[in-house]
Amino acid sequence: MEKRTTKEELLARAAKPARDAMQMHPHYRGKIEVVPKCVIRDIDDFAVWYTPGVAETSKDIKKNPEMVFQHTNKANMVAIVTDGTRVLGLGNVGPLAALPVMEGKALLFKYLGGVDAFPLCLDTTDADELIKTVKYLCPTFGGINLEDIENPKCFYVLERLRREAPIPVWHDDQQGTAAVTVAGLINALKVVGKRMEDVRIALIGVGAANVCIARMLIKAGVDPRKMMIVDSKGILSARRDDIDRNTHKEKWDLSRMTNGEGRDGTMEEAIAGKDVLIALSEPGPEVIKKAWITTMTDDAVVFVCANPIPEIWPWEAREAGARVVATGRSDFANQVNNSVGFPAIFRGVLDVMARTITDEMCLAAAAELARCAEDKGLSEDYILPSMDEWEVFPREAVAVAKKAMEQGVARLRLTEKELFAMAEQKIRRARDEVGVLMEKGIIRPNEECP
């Protein structure tokens, strides 16, 4: 049973990491740096790594472009690209202010997935300029992770880059959140004994995450007619004439496909009678009222993932009859945490040099993530693994790699054993590296801030 707490206590609890961050960041002046990967025994090695030796590799790649994956780190390099227009819960803070957040993302990519990720905060908010820039950057990277780009621009940018970029592109806020949420739902439904095909779902919020979640849920078998999606003006329906098809195409499509009864109404009316509630909207705790949860069906599943305070306190949702509750916070049970998604998914994508990241690959990741939790025993309080369960990452990477091979988008074909060994080795290496640097005192602890 989670500890009850007040908004003040929660905010106070969040204050400590905030204080620490302001102290620790200036101490280290950045969280990532460039470190050599090859031996440097003496000055003579530079004749191999640089001129004149490296010219041979350049010639080789000019003749056989695929050799770039052999001669460079491109296969393991991912660019984290943002324009800073929708950073965490802060909104449009711009590219400079986004930099520490992107460095943090790079840290998670490396530590959890062994992926070398590099932040690129771009000084443009124009979608077409963004797209052009990312395409120009592709030679250096094995994949692109779009991050914190505002909606609806992010849909257009992702769709175009998926089509036009020669390397896999994905948007963690969309596909990453969707993969982890779907994984949680798979398990939550197992706990309450309901089927994807049968459930009625209310989705609150039509941001990047929920639009992608809706799409993934339909692919996972949910009947779109049994879904209701709610934005600030109410339930999406074909009768809503305030949705512009040209600027908000995804929302428009959803308004046509979902809500089979064609009902208009408020959030409260949308939630009534539903089996599942997935909210990714305004921070709470009063956004979703306790009374509304009581109008849901028995054994309701409630995911309230607003940042930093969920739309309703999880214990209140439980008191109102919800049987499985998840939030975005680590201090409550069932954290829907993107960090158990993107590092593993990219690991798998890069290890088979997949050309793209398909929805099916995301669903395969979700299914494996769900299975990892299931193997440990599901319960109302345990539907998703946490970041510290190291086995999750190579397992999920392998599932994604297998799906890529199955779909014919993988450039390499490897056995399951080989894939697992590769993923595990790369992740372990990243952990060991940091460990060695800390042991040797090259990364010093911050005495003022233990």
Partner 1 sequence: MDIRRIETPLVEDEISVLRSGDRVLLTGYVYTARDVAHKRFVDVLAAGEPLPVDISGQVIYYCGPSPPRPGRIIGAAGPTTSSRMDVYTPALLSLGLKGMIGKGKRSESVKEAIMLHKAVYFGATGGAGALLSQNVLSYEIIAYADLGPEAVARLYVRDLPLFVVNDSFGNDLYEMGESTFRTT
Partner 2 sequence: MRDVACADISSALERLFIAANTDLPAAVVERIELALGEEASPVGREVLAELLANARLARELEVPICQDTGLAVVFIEVGQDVHLTGGELAEAVREGVRDAYAKGHLRLSCCDPFSRVNTGDNTPPILHTSIVGGEHVRIIAMAKGGGSENYGEVRMLLPSEGMEGVKAFAKEMVRKGGPNICPPITIGVGVGGNLEAAAILSKKGLLVPFGQRNVDPRIAKLELEILGEINRLGIGPGGYGGRVTALDVHIRILPCHIASLPVAINIQCHAHRVREVTL
Taking CB under 8 A as the binding criterion, the range among 38-46, 250-258, 344-352, 433-441 that sits at the site for partner 1 is: 250-258
Which of 117, 220, 280, 344 touches partner 1 (CB under 8 A)?
Answer: 220
User: Residue 220 binds which entry of partner 1, partner 2, none, with Cβ cut-offs from 5 to 8 Å by kind?
Assistant: partner 1
d(CA 304, CA 202): 11
Q: Using the minimum distance from each CB to partner 2, give the nearer residue, 224 or 308.
A: 224
CB of 217 to partner 2, least distance (A): 12
Go through the chain and tell me how many residues it has: 450
Is residue 359 part of the contact set for partner 1 (CB under 8 A)?
A: yes
d(CA 147, CA 157): 11
Is residue 223 part of the contact set for partner 1 (CB under 8 A)?
A: no
Residues contacting 241, CB < 8 A, separation 6+: none
d(CA 202, CA 48): 60
Q: Using the minimum distance from each CB to partner 1, give the nearer residue, 24 or 218.
A: 218
Exposure string for 120-151, b = 16+ CB within 10 A, e = fewer: bbbeebebeebbebbbebbeebbbbbbbbbbb
Is 289 annotated as catalytic? no
d(CA 283, CA 243): 24
Taking CB under 8 A as the binding criterion, the range among 85-93, 101-109, 249-257, 424-432 that sits at the site for partner 1 is: 249-257
List residues near partner 2 by CB under 8 A.
218, 223-225, 256-257
Question: Phi then psi for 6, rounded to 5 degrees?
Answer: -105, 165
Two tokens, residue 57: 């590799």
Is 50 annotated as catalytic? yes
d(CA 132, CA 135): 5
User: Residue 215 binds which entry of partner 1, partner 2, none, with Cβ cut-offs from 5 to 8 Å by kind?
Assistant: partner 1
Q: Using the minimum distance from each CB to partner 1, give the nearer residue, 160 or 290.
A: 160
For helices 359-376 and 208-219, the axis angle rounded to 10 degrees is 80
Per-residue contact flags (x/-) with partner 1 for residues 187 to 216, judged by CB under 8 A: ----------------------------x-
d(CA 162, CA 149): 16
User: Residue 245 binds which entry of partner 1, partner 2, none, with Cβ cut-offs from 5 to 8 Å by kind?
Assistant: partner 1
User: Residue 14 binds which entry of partner 2, partner 1, none, with Cβ cut-offs from 5 to 8 Å by kind?
Assistant: none
Is residue 260 part of the contact set for partner 1 (CB under 8 A)?
A: no
Is residue 449 part of the contact set for partner 1 (CB under 8 A)?
A: no
Is residue 240 part of the contact set for partner 1 (CB under 8 A)?
A: no
3 state DSSP class of 78: strand
Q: Using the minimum distance from each CB to partner 1, give the nearer residue, 42 or 241.
A: 241
User: Residue 223 binds which entry of partner 2, partner 1, none, with Cβ cut-offs from 5 to 8 Å by kind?
Assistant: partner 2
Q: Where are the alpha helices (DSSP H) in 114-164?
A: 127-137, 153-164
Is residue 245 part of the contact set for partner 1 (CB under 8 A)?
A: yes
Which residues are registered as beta bridge partners of 354? 410
Two tokens, residue 364: 């395969």
- For the chain, the straight-line distance linking the first and the last C-alpha, in angstroms and rounded, comes to 30
Q: Please pick, among 7, 50, 62, 132, the residue that the annotation labels catalytic.
A: 50
User: Residue 402 binds which entry of partner 1, partner 2, none, with Cβ cut-offs from 5 to 8 Å by kind?
Assistant: none
Q: Using the minimum distance from each CB to partner 2, give the nearer residue, 223 or 418.
A: 223
Q: Please pick, among 105, 110, 251, 426, the residue that the annotation labels catalytic.
A: 105
CB of 211 to partner 2, least distance (A): 18
CB of 32 to partner 1, least distance (A): 36
Q: What is the CA angle 185-188-193, rounded to 5?
A: 120
3 state DSSP class of 136: helix
Taking CB under 8 A as the binding criterion, the range among 11-19, 29-37, 245-253, 260-268 that sits at the site for partner 1 is: 245-253
- Evaluated on CA atoms 284, 285, 290, 296, the torsion sign reads positive
Contact in structure between 117 and 78 (CB atoms under 8 Å)? yes
Is residue 218 part of the contact set for partner 1 (CB under 8 A)?
A: yes
Question: Phi then psi for 349, rounded to 5 degrees?
Answer: -60, -45
CB of 216 to partner 1, least distance (A): 10
Is residue 263 part of the contact set for partner 1 (CB under 8 A)?
A: no
d(CA 86, CA 101): 11
Residues that bind partner 1 in the complex, under the rule CB under 8 A: 215, 218-221, 238, 245, 249, 253, 256-257, 359-360
Return the active site residues. 50, 105
